Amino acid sequence: MQIGLTATPIRRDDADTYGYFGDPVYEYSLRDGIDDGFLAPYRVRRVHLNIDMTGFRPAAGQRDAAGDVTPDRLYTPRQ
């Protein structure tokens, strides 16, 4: 017997659990968790940022918050 527990049965990387385990026999939704007091209710707020999507290249010798030198490369946002 195999028991599979997951919070993400369907994922974008095509690694869904349905192909391995089949259809779920029980589902516990986000709403159920909030209503039962196990999860905190949430509010969605849209925030608009002025972000340069071309990327960021650190200055030579620039350090990060931990004090380490930031490697020289182009850092771009994931899309």
Whether 39 and 46 have beta carbons less than 8 Å apart is answered as no
pLDDT value of position 69: 95
Is residue 61 scored above 80 in pLDDT?
yes
- What pTM was computed for the model? 0.46
Give the pLDDT band of residue 62 (cuts 50, 70, 90): very high
Q: What amino acid is encoded at 3 in this protein?
A: I
Alpha helices by DSSP H, 1-79 = 18-21, 30-35
Q: Are 10 and 18 in contact (CB under 8 A)?
A: yes
- pLDDT digits over 1-46, tens only? 778 888 777 666 666 777 778 888 888 889 999 999 999 999 999 9
Higher pLDDT, 50 or 25: 25
24 near 31, Cβ under 8 Å? no
Report how many domains make up the chain: 1
Tens digit of pLDDT for each residue in 69-79? 999 999 887 75
The parent domain of residue 22 ranges over 1-79
